[in-house]
């Protein structure tokens, strides 16, 4: 399972775009990159997943360079309710038995 490295914390203001970068130098060929969001005293919530290039959904965008050794979660126009911890995970959901190993995550604080 590839190890991930993220900034421990980030600050932003309402309405700004926030980009959180995750390093995963040892990513394997079959690994996907998945981001989860967690609010205090709640279980993590799936945000977005990708394999390469760019993925966009109604919540965020995920940018993955060609070498796939890093990825960037982009949150457009954040609001106070986006204050949470964001986790980047790398792995195969099924071929590794579905194990997800969480790193430290990035604590995002959005200020008014």
Partner 1 sequence: GAVVSQHPSRVICKSGTSVKIECRSLDFQATTMFWYRQFPKQSLMLMATSNEGSKATYEQGVEKDKFLINHASLTLSTLTVTSAHPEDSSFYICSAPLAGADTQYFGPGTRLTVL
Span of 19-27, 62-70, 75-83, 100-108 interacting with partner 1 by CB under 8 A = 100-108
Other CB atoms within a 10 A radius of the CB of residue 60 amount to 19
Binding mask 39-68 for partner 1 (x = CB under 8 A): --xxxxxx--x-------------------
Span of 18-26, 56-64, 73-81, 95-103 interacting with partner 1 by CB under 8 A = 95-103
Residue with the two structure tokens 């991930």: 4
- Judged by CB under 8 A, the residue of 12, 21, 32, 61 near partner 1 is 32
Q: For every residue of 34-90, which 3-state class applies, written as one string? A: EEEEECCCCCCEEEEEECCEEEECCCCEEEECCCCCEEEEEECCCCHHHCEEEEEEE
Tell me if 80 contacts partner 1 by CB under 8 A. Answer: no
The CA distances from residue 104 to 3, 5, 32, in Å, are: 11, 8, 18
The CB-of-22 to partner 1 minimum distance in angstroms stands at 14
The residues binding partner 1 (CB under 8 A) are: 32, 34, 36, 41-46, 49, 87, 93-94, 97-105
């Amino acid at each position: 399972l590839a190890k991930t490295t993220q900034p421990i914390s980030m600050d932003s203001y309402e309405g700004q775009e926030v980009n959180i970068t995750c390093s995963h130098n040892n990513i394997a060929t079959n690994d996907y990159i998945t981001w989860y969001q967690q609010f205090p005293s709640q279980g993590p919530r799936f945000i977005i997943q990708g394999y390469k290039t760019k993925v966009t959904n109604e919540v965020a965008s995920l940018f993955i360079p060609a070498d796939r050794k890093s990825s960037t979660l982009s949150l457009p126009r954040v609001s106070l309710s986006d204050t949470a911890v964001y986790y980047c995970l790398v792995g195969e959901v099924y071929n590794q038995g579905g194990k997800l190993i969480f790193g430290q995550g990035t604590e995002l604080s959005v200020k008014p």
